[in-house]
Amino acid sequence: MKIFKIIKMMVGLSPNCEKVNLFLADYVDGTLDDKTRKDFEEHMDMCKCCRPYLNQYKSTIEMAHECDDVKVPSELVEHTMAFLRRNSDFPRS
């Protein structure tokens, strides 16, 4: 999934978040097994970093479904980068 790789590149997450985010695409697709999905949802409940990220990911996927050759809107990139600057020590380039 091309767009997922792009988003992941923009995001510097903690190791725990990183692990959870490996399952993000499968979670949204509904293909996770019960235990993994429960762990995932528990983390999403606790983590103020991942929750908005999941929501943003979902809306991005919805956009991607509407268009085969989707480009990441600059608005989304800016929003994501602003979010990361506020909420993490994501290195600025």
Query: Does 50 help bind Zn ion (rule: CB under 5 A)?
Result: yes
User: Residues 10-29: x/- map of binding to Zn ion (CB under 5 A)?
Assistant: -------x------------
User: Residues 51-90: x/- map of binding to Zn ion (CB under 5 A)?
Assistant: ----------------------------------------
Residue choice 28, 47, 63, 81 for contact with Zn ion (CB under 5 A): 47
The least CB distance from residue 52 to Zn ion, in Å, is 10
How many angstroms separate the CA atoms of 56 and 67, rounded?
A: 17
The Cα-based distances of 14 to 33, 38, 49, 78, 87 in angstroms read 23, 19, 9, 21, 11
How many angstroms separate the CA atoms of 81 and 29, rounded?
A: 25
